[in-house]
Structure 1
């Protein structure tokens, strides 16, 4: 069953989402040449502690860190450590979450370390991020879950092919419901398949984490011996973007975006819901 949230519960999720946004900013500033992925994890821990929030990653299924740090050909679930030192030209996906009064926030972004990245890497990140926003724009009353998947895949498929020949939409991982738990029903594919059907209808109180993962090659992945780290089979580099979104009577609210998604969704002709934490 889907968990439908009340306005008060969505306000709590907005609190958690803004903590996640602060974690992202701290990690973005820490993702410099010579830093270790553990340095980023420690930056995230400090933000959570200062906010009085809890990590929803640490201990989840035995995960040993506060955030996921996925470098280059690692798609998701990379474990921060002292051995992985960021180098000039690396890209890194930083996935982070927070719990405030039992309510969850979850979001991810791709950062560029240093300078001199190939144009196709910037385009990979842009395509992945914009496909996420296309999916978020489809979070509206009367739509169904498949409309989000269709918007994400459609955006990616319409883009010019990269020099590598294709964009691989990662198939084994996707978005998810979020609320009183970090991962809840429904599972959200980043592509359309007839086997999954149309999925549930989107109604006010519906909350979803939308997170496309795209590579410069294959969609196939494998998990390393640590049982967490996911890499592309062909070694192609990948990008990962994610936001948690709530659908309200007034429209969507991007819980983990500082402005609630207002600027980006305006590009799609979508008006965001009022921020429940905004002061007059």
Structure 2
């Protein structure tokens, strides 16, 4: 593995931390999702920096950024685009929607109806969209950073399990500590610092790093450890639905990406343990819960599983 992948991850993290203050763990998870070639769901109350984190990522990359504000009247064509008739040529031409960007912020994703949410499914899983039988490839690299408020349910639509499974990880930003909140006030006196971020990596750098991630060594005994955790979610009495094979593969790729962000050429048990909750919890339904999953309970039970499963030496 070349040192370029390590450099790309470090530059991204350091650049984003100039504006996402005191949230190194959140920044690292976002970079992990990007390097793994997958997507991230930021779930938290309004005003703690979800949109800021997405913009910081976009402004750090020499690529295109698009923001989708999800509302109840948003249509699928508002996301993927549509065919438009042009009188000069007497033909229909495809007009691409905002999904054709390198970094797409899907803000308040749970405020759009399921039909509109599903417009993202093909894009997130295949890197393409289909319009009138024609397939259109999305830019590469491509990442969706979605946000939602988990505490306000009026006028919202729960994300279906099939869509939750497309997010590599879910995380919360949380409130800053007193010192970092003071720094936020100081840095915002003259405007938005995120708008002044310099682009530190190119799209080509990201694509190279994503290729390098796949060459990170994953010892056989650690693969077995990961699969034991995955299988435990399917056998757990407190879980109605465990994680899928797609989730296991995402978990595997996420651990490789975390190793790169830690500037290692190999996966360690710590990579597997640290990603267990953000990668698996949102894909699990707790027994007895009618709508969605009991987030706190599921996360606690996953941590208990980690304590019960022997760590390879």
Give the TM-score of the pair, scaled to structure 1.
Answer: 0.33
Give the TM-score of the pair, scaled to structure 2.
Answer: 0.30
Which structure has more helix as a fraction of its residues? 2
